Structures are given as C-alpha cells and as structure tokens.
C-alpha cells in the first residue's frame, strides 16, 4: 500500500513536470522566444491537467477494487440456491411424509478441486488415486406420521437422528424421493438459536401478543421461575447467542418459541439434553403432552423413559430407519430398541419423590445467571459516539504510534525540500524568461528546469512513501493494542458488547487507519505548504494582491468549519450503524435453519432492508455534504 501510494504521487507530479519540460524545450528549440506571458499561460494550462492526472490512478485503483468485489459477489449470486424440497399441503393425508435418500453437502478446498475465477468455477479431473471421503447419508427413509401423533426418534450417537430432522426441513440434499408436510413447521435445533432481543420478543418471534397464551407457554416450558428471577421479567434483554442464559434456559426459550408459534408440526432436536430429569419430566407432561398435545410432535432424544408417551417410536442406526412402531411392540421385540432399553433404560428415570421439584432445580441451576441479571438491567450498552471536535488525546495517541523514527524525520525533510524545489521551479521560469543568469544558454535553462521538476517529484515520492510507512506502523501498533485489550477484557465486556461492534472496530476502522490516514497526512501537509508557498510567491510578486486573501480566508474557514462539523457527526453515526448491520447479519446467518423452518424469511429480510436503508440514507447525506462543500469552494473560486 505504501509503495502504491508513493508511486501514484510520483506519477502525478512527474507527468505534468515532464510535459512542461518537453513542451518548453520543443518550443525553444523550434526557434521561438520564451517570454513571461507564454511561460505562465502554459503553466496554467499544465496545472489544469494536474487534477485529472491526480485522479486517474485513483480511479484505476477503485475500478480494480470494484472488479475484484464484483467477482466475489458474483460468486455468491451465481452459487446454487437451496431447492424448495419441502412441500406444505394442508390437505395431505399425513402430517409428515418422507420417502427417499438424503446426503450432506461436501465442500472441497478450491485449490484442490477448482480452477479459474469465482464467476465461472470449473471442476478439474481428480487423480485416480485420490479418495474423497463420502458424506454422511440417510438411506431408504420411509416415514409416514399421522396428524397429532407424538413420535420419538432414538438411536446411538452418530446414527442419524438429528440428520433426519435436517433432511425433513431441507438442510440436507435430497437425492431421491420427496418430503411433504401437512401443515406449518416449527423447529427447535440442537444448539438453540437465540436472538439479541428481549425474552418476550424471542418467544413471540414476530407473532401477535396473546397474554394468556404467552403465560401458558412460559409455564409449560418451565420458564416461570426464570422470569421471576430476571430483573426486568419477560422484558429482560437477551445477549447475542443467548450468552447471558444457561444451556437449559436457551433450550427452553427455543422450545417456548416453537410452542407459541402455533405450528402444525413441531420438530424437536434433543431439547431435553440440556435439562435435568425433573425439568424434562415437566416439559414432557406440560409441554409435549400439554400445550402441544393437539400438534404433531417429532422428538429426537436420548431419554428412553419418554418412549412410553410416544405414539410411534422410530429407531435409527447408521443412517437408516431400522425399527418403527408402538413402544410396547418394540420393547418386547428383539432388536436395536430393546438393546438400548436394556443398556440405558433405567439410567434416566423421570420421577423420584425424594428429589426437589423442577422449579427448585431450575432456580438452583441458573442462580448464577439470575444474580447477573439482577445486577444489570440493560444488558447491551449503547455504542459510544464522541461529540464535538476530535480530542487532542486522539492525535497524540496516533503520533505516539508514529514515533519520531527515521520514516517521520525523512518525511518532513522530503516535505520541506519538495516545497523548496516546487517554489524554485516557478521562480526559475521567471529567470529563464528574462535570461537574467549570466552565461546560461537555452540548454542550461532546460536542464536546470528539468532538474527542479524531477527533484520535486522525487521529494513528493519520498514524502508519501515514508509517511505511509509510518502510518502503517502506527496502525499495526494500534491494532495490536486493540486486540490485546479485547482478548484480555473481562467476560462481562463480551456479554455487553455486540460482536458486530468489535468486528467493525477491528476491520473497517483499522482499515481506514492503515490505508487512508498515512496518505491523507502527506496530502494535507503537501497541500498546506503548497498554499503557503503560493501565497508567499504572490506576496513577493504582487504585494497588494495579498489583501484579497483576508476575506477569502474568512469565507473558506467558515465553509470548512460548517462542513467539518456536520461531516464528522455523519461519519460517527455511519460507524455506529455499520456495527448494527454486522450484528444483525451475523445473527441471521447463525439462525438460518430456524428462519427457514418457520418460514420467516420475508420478516427477517425486511429487517435487514430497514437496516441497509438507514445506511443508504446516511451515505446520501455524506454525498450531499461533499457536494455542498465543492459548490461553496467553486463559488469562492477555489479548486480542490
């Protein structure tokens, strides 16, 4: 980056200088006489092309970045989309009808299986001796569940129980057959997905509030005691990924969401694994066999004692359904289920009168989390946003990162010498026009003028290079300090700070420091000294003209201050909303399987569109600010 910025600055300075040298040399060698009017008129024309030449390499860079970005985005847009393999038919004979085979997707590293661009990936032939592991598959699935049935799916670890539910909701590729549901779907995943919202919003999930129904669901899902212990009750804010909840609480909140959603078919992926036997007993009796008794329930679990409540028991082994039928029938028939009952059937007894009730267990199990909730009413602190001018402490902190090293010293030496060379170039043209240097011929003037021009370009190159390198070093030190503090922050900091805010600080903000700040410092210093040198030259040549700089300076400072204040605040707001976008997007990616199962894609798409609309509005304001500033400077006769 430093080399690129320095090369661009050399290009911008060297091309106009070479153009002027070659033009004046050709003009003089062709027999024409150089005079003051010709020289300064030509210089003004050369100055006119400096602006476009300065923007030309920047434009090429932006076009290159845009091309790379478009290729990356195109790779996503042309990627295969999930087919609509789930069919919901209200008039279907069965609540769940699944027949066929399913397989997980495989993603090999691009450097092994793909070549070419992201837009048009091409498969290359594999070597004969290269063996690719086969993905896990579900084979010969034949499942027909009647409406209102309670189905329990059992099997050893890795037998395909959770995979069966993923295949039903379309999260596995269906290679053969079909899946048909007789009503809307509700899903509780094994790793419960929790939104960064209040407890009530997590349960409602976009549905209208029914207070009686909500209270019934809270009781059925064993959340009543938790709600009482939370300081804000059901309006308590839940952190990202439910970070301020225990595993059992997250599972019960996800279960409450599915129960309140009023879906016709509820798919439950082992929600009892995160709770103890007393709570699981309450969930089975009050939720599965209570508020959900009229729904079709498909439960994956290791709790064999729940099987006696089931209308149908399904047993999985090695990706196949090896047994299915009534509980008593399978328990008395030799096979996988009977073996499981003999090995583990007595290890998870639900009831014991000598043990505490489920509310006591929930209260004790989550007491530490409850104490934390009582201490803090608002979980996530609002993102800080500085007000007013930038504090001098910020500049001092950045200068400490720069340090007074060789890069800074050489940059300032190059800055001063470059400005001296630039001023000398302009003064020398006056001497050349008047032929006031004794003994100098045209070739001597040409050579000295070219030397001034090349020297100016070289010093500007060194200025940009050293300041950019110093800026990269300062950015690295600041990033190192930032990541050091983030990794060593207490847990409560991560509880109260959304991950999108941290990502925004360590990516976009650090990118601005690394890529832009160093070159902006060099641009500011070179332009400041250029203006100072131009004013000095004008005062030297036409002293009375300096009087006009006073009102012009007042108008310039007034416009710049107005622009600076509003533009600074808009940038601060944009930085805060960028963190909001990152957090929302990451949250929805984490819960994409639940969002699809509940058919809530449009609801969350609308939420993301609202967030992006806010970002677009802020960008419009920033563009408007730049336009107003450019218009003001144009009215004052100042070119940027």
Q: What is the pLDDT of residue 486?
A: 87
Q: What is the pLDDT of residue 289?
A: 92
Separation between Cα atoms, residue 281 and residue 351, nearest integer Å: 7
Helix residue ranges per DSSP H, 306-357:
327-331, 336-344
Q: What is the pLDDT of residue 459?
A: 83
pTM of the shown model: 0.68
What does the pLDDT average to over 423-445? 74
Separation between Cα atoms, residue 583 and residue 243, nearest integer Å: 14
pLDDT of 447 higher than 70: yes
Q: What is the pLDDT of residue 611?
A: 77
Q: Which of 145-149, 288-292, 610-614, 630-634 is the least confident region?
A: 630-634
Q: Which CATH superfamily is domain 88-107+134-375 in?
A: P-loop containing nucleotide triphosphate hydrolases (3.40.50.300)
DSSP state of 123: E
Q: What is the pLDDT of residue 256?
A: 93
What does the pLDDT average to over 381-389? 61
Task: Report the C-alpha dihedral over residues 59, 65, 70, 72, rounded to 10 degrees.
Answer: 180
Query: Looking at per-residue confidence, does 255 or 515 come out higher?
Result: 255
Beta strands 312-317 and 320-325, pairing class: antiparallel
**Which of 19-33, 300-314, 420-434 is the most confident on average?**
300-314
What does the pLDDT average to over 547-557? 78
Q: Which of 16-30, 120-134, 169-183, 214-228 is the least confident region?
A: 120-134
Residues 6+ apart with CB under 8 A from 370: 226, 229, 230, 363
Q: What is the pLDDT of residue 563?
A: 72
- Per residue in 138-169, pLDDT tens? 999 999 999 999 999 999 888 899 999 998 98
Q: Which of 82-91, 405-414, 625-634 is the least confident region?
A: 625-634
pLDDT of 4 higher than 70: no
Q: Please report, for the chain, the start and end positions of each structural domain, with discontinuous segments joined by +.
A: 1-73+393-497+517-529, 88-107+134-375, 542-640
Query: What pLDDT band is residue 260 in, cutting at 50, 70 and 90?
Result: very high
What does the pLDDT average to over 515-524? 75
Q: What is the pLDDT of residue 121?
A: 41
SS3 annotation, 523-588: HHHHHHHHHHHHHHHHHHHCHHHHHHHHHHHHHHHHHHHHHHHHHHHHHHHHHHHHHHHHHHHHHH
Query: What pLDDT band is residue 112 in, cutting at 50, 70 and 90?
Result: very low
Query: Looking at per-residue confidence, does 65 or 312 come out higher?
Result: 312
Separation between Cα atoms, residue 156 and residue 354, nearest integer Å: 31
């Amino acid at each position: 980056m430093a080399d690129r910025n320095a090369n661009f600055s050399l290009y911008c300075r060297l091309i106009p200088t070479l153009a002027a040298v070659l033009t004046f040399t050709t003009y003089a060698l062709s027999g024409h006489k150089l005079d003051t009017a010709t020289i300064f008129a030509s210089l003004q024309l050369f100055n006119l092309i400096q602006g476009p030449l300065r923007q030309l390499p920047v434009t090429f860079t932006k076009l290159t970045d845009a091309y790379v970005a478009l290729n990356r985005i195109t790779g996503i847009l042309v990627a295969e989309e999930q087919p609509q393999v789930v069919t919901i038919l209200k008039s279907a004979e069965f609540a769940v009808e699944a027949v066929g085979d399913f397989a997980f997707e495989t993603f090999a590293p691009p450097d092994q299986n793909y070549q070419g661009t992201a837009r048009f990936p091409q498969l290359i032939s594999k070597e004969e001796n290269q063996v690719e592991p086969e993905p896990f598959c579900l084979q010969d699935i034949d499942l027909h569940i009647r409406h209102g049935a309670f189905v329990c799916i059992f099997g050893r670890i890795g037998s395909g129980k959770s995979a069966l539910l993923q295949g039903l909701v379309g999260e596995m590729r269906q290679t053969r057959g079909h899946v048909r549901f007789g009503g809307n779907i509700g899903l509780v995943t094994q790793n419960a997905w929790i939104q960064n919202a209040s407890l009530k919003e997590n349960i409602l999930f976009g549905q209208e509030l029914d207070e009686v129904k909500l209270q019934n669901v809270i009781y059925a899902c064993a959340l009543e005691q938790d709600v009482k212990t939370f300081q804000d009750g059901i309006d308590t804010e839940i952190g990202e990924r439910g970070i301020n909840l225990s595993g059992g609480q997250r599972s019960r909140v996800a279960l409450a969401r599915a129960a309140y959603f009023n879906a016709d078919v509820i798919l439950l992926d082992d929600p009892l694994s995160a709770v103890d036997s007393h709570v699981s007993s309450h969930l089975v009796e009050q939720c599965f066999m209570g508020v959900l008794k009229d729904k079709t329930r498909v439960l994956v679990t290791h709790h064999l004692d729940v099987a006696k409540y089931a209308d149908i028991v399904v047993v999985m082994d090695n990706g196949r359904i090896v047994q299915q039928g009534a509980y008593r029938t399978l328990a008395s028939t030799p096979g996988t289920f009977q073996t499981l009952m003999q090995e583990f059937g007595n290890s998870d007894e639900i009831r014991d009168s000598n043990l505490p009730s489920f509310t006591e267990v929930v209260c004790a199990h989550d007491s530490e989390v409850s104490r934390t909730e009582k201490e803090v009413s608002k979980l996530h602190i609002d993102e800080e946003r500085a007000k007013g001018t930038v504090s001098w402490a910020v500049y001092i902190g950045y200068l400490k990162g720069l340090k007074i090293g060789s890069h800074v010293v050489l940059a300032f030496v190059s800055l001063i010498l470059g400005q001296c060379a630039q001023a000398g170039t302009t003064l020398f043209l006056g001497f050349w026009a008047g032929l006031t240097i004794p003994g100098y011929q045209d070739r001597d003037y040409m050579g000295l003028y070219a030397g001034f021009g090349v020297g100016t370009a070289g010093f500007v190159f060194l200025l940009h290079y050293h300041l950019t390198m110093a800026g990269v070093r300062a950015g690295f030190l600041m990033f190192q300090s930032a990541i050091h503090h983030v990794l060593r922050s207490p847990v409560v900091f991560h509880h109260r700070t959304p991950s999108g805010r941290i990502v925004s600080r360590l990516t976009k903000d650090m990118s601005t420091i690394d890529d832009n700040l160093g070159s902006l410092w060099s641009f500011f210093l070179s332009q400041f000294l250029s203006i100072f040198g131009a004013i000095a030259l004008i005062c030297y040549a036409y002293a009375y003209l300096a009087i006009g700089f006073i009102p012009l300076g007042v108008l310039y400072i007034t416009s710049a201050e107005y622009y600076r204040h509003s533009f600074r605040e808009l940038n601060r707001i944009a930085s805060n909303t960028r963190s909001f976008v990152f957090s929302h997007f990451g949250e929805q990616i984490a819960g994409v399987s639940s969002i699809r199962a509940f058919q809530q894609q449009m609801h969350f798409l609308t939420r993301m569109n609202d967030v992006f609309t806010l970002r677009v509005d802020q960008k419009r304001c920033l563009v408007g600010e730049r336009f107003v500033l450019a218009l003001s400077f144009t009215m004052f006769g100042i070119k940027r």
